[in-house]
Structure 1
């Protein structure tokens, strides 16, 4: 699909989701229906990968607002640190792919980053979107959760961030206790020293590494590589009272794979296609 058609579709989706109420509004009937069906069954949680770049530029406030309307369980964000020690949300270590800037994020002060558009490749509708700070995301999410019975939590990918400022900001907005934290084992160990009760989620690519990671990190969950997953492995992890998250992205982001995830009994699917996951699982459950 070319960029013009993608942007046109994105604009229509956002209009459908947000136009009913300027602040947040009522969710579309389809989302309410899907969530009701999922909640009545053995509910699988949904994590929106960097928000959703199909709807709006990834890791921007625009895409986070849109997926909040979809009542996702988690929003995945990538946290990095600027030259002047501010925490910002950007996946890549450089600005080149998603912004109008160039070079490493860590070499720029926040004031300079705020001059950039974070909507490279998107149409004029999004060109005023900036790289958000963690404070801005925290404020958005805290406000949403204060006004809605179903909470949305953060899935924090600790790209380049010290634990102290991360914990401080999330604590300020009441988001620390329910957030999950993904990163290297070393980063998660450092976070654990600052926030002993933080919900750590190391990656798991094969079952052989599980025992060592449990002993070392006492994880809340594993982010298990989708090719490594099986119903047996999910059972082994659940037997340890640990949750299972998995990324169903790129060529795995398909209805057949969502159905398999439900069959395996995983706890959270991470996806770029939230509504497609809802439709697939709700249809499967009502048959």
Structure 2
């Protein structure tokens, strides 16, 4: 009986030795797949600090996001500022259109108190301020917000990047996107070495292969509302030679769902839901 027990024990140990590496390998593959997802902090880590402020960008950087996503608009006196809405009402203590403020006026607004008392006094940052603070430290996904309201905004963004030698492919950390696809085309002409993206809302749920092929002539990414993403869309985007970074994940369940759809990146308010991986070069 003892001899039988010993033989069985050896058999179980041997089986375990073969089974455990297989299980570990399977787990490692799964982790590698998840780590390939690019982590984009939406308006900075906007679940943890007031969106589009230096506090939110710093939080995204600290949380090891691959990119911080920013919204660029233009003041009355032609300066580039970071704010999402075309009015200042929701995210500052002011009221009115962004384009009706001078830089000096918009910088006097409190852009943090609405989110929490500890952020009182946060300012609306300038585009140049963000570039100078995070150049070479983290990727920057630049959204041209409502560019139709700001003639010449593409040129001003291009000029700011060129002044800092951030307009080269080798940099690998700048992507420009917009819902205004004509603006994306214009920006691509001004900055041909930088990757660009077309943003797509719910109306693009039935985008055709022909439309994706057209986007691919000037864009490297098709970044849609996460609610229209299907396995078929992901495959079509990849077939067109583009990558896909859906927006905006706000829960672990949503992030997991996007992982399972085999997207290339996730734009999220919660960088902690997306595994860290160094910025890919494009």
User: Do they fold alike, i.e. is TM over 0.5?
Assistant: yes
Deviation at residue 233 of structure 1 after TM alignment: 2.0
Deviation at residue 68 of structure 1 after TM alignment: 0.3
Q: Secondary structure at the match of 2:266?
A: strand
Alpha-carbon separation, structure 1, partners of 2:205 and 2:120: 42
Q: Secondary structure at the match of 1:244?
A: coil
Alpha-carbon separation, structure 1, partners of 2:77 and 2:132: 21
**Where in structure 1 do 4 or more consecutive aligned residues deviate above 4 Å?**
37-42
Change in Cα spacing, 1:185 to 1:213, as seen in structure 2 (3 Å) is farther
TM-score, normalising length: structure 1: 0.74
Alpha-carbon separation, structure 2, partners of 1:218 and 1:123: 41
Further displaced range: 197-206 or 88-97: 197-206
User: Who is 2:198 aligned against?
Assistant: 202
Deviation at residue 86 of structure 1 after TM alignment: 0.3
Further displaced range: 41-50 or 172-181: 172-181
Change in Cα spacing, 1:197 to 1:61, as seen in structure 2 (3 Å) is same
Change in Cα spacing, 1:231 to 1:44, as seen in structure 2 (3 Å) is same
Residues 1:59 and 2:52 are matched in the alignment = yes
Alpha-carbon separation, structure 1, partners of 2:43 and 2:92: 15
Change in Cα spacing, 1:208 to 1:95, as seen in structure 2 (3 Å) is closer
User: Who is 2:141 aligned against?
Assistant: 155
Deviation at residue 256 of structure 1 after TM alignment: 2.5
Deviation at residue 44 of structure 1 after TM alignment: 0.3
Deviation at residue 210 of structure 1 after TM alignment: 4.3
User: Who is 2:129 aligned against?
Assistant: 136
Deviation at residue 108 of structure 1 after TM alignment: 0.9
Deviation at residue 238 of structure 1 after TM alignment: 1.2
Change in Cα spacing, 1:130 to 1:39, as seen in structure 2 (3 Å) is farther
2:37·2:275 contact (CA, 8 Å) conserved in 1? no
How many residues align? The count is 234
Q: 181, 189, 195: which one pairs with 1:193?
A: 189
User: Who is 1:232 aligned against?
Assistant: 232
Deviation at residue 191 of structure 1 after TM alignment: 1.1
Of structures 1 and 2, the one with the larger relative CO (CA 8 A, separation 6+) is 2
Change in Cα spacing, 1:239 to 1:270, as seen in structure 2 (3 Å) is same
Alpha-carbon separation, structure 1, partners of 2:51 and 2:41: 10
Residues 1:269 and 2:266 are matched in the alignment = yes
The residue correspondences of 1:1-287 to structure 2 (distance < 5 A) are 43-142=36-135, 145=136, 151-159=137-145, 160=147, 161=150, 162-176=153-167, 177=169, 178-183=173-178, 184-204=180-200, 205-215=204-214, 217-249=217-249, 253-278=250-275
TM-score, normalising length: structure 2: 0.76
Unpaired runs of at least 5, structure 1: 1-36, 146-150, 282-287
Q: Secondary structure at the match of 1:208?
A: coil
2:66·2:138 contact (CA, 8 Å) conserved in 1? yes
1:38·1:44 contact (CA, 8 Å) conserved in 2? no
Deviation at residue 239 of structure 1 after TM alignment: 2.1
Deviation at residue 193 of structure 1 after TM alignment: 2.2
Change in Cα spacing, 1:40 to 1:201, as seen in structure 2 (3 Å) is closer
Unpaired runs of at least 5, structure 2: 1-29, 278-282
Change in Cα spacing, 1:122 to 1:206, as seen in structure 2 (3 Å) is closer
What is the aligned-residue RMSD (CA, Å)? 2.3
Alpha-carbon separation, structure 1, partners of 2:98 and 2:92: 11
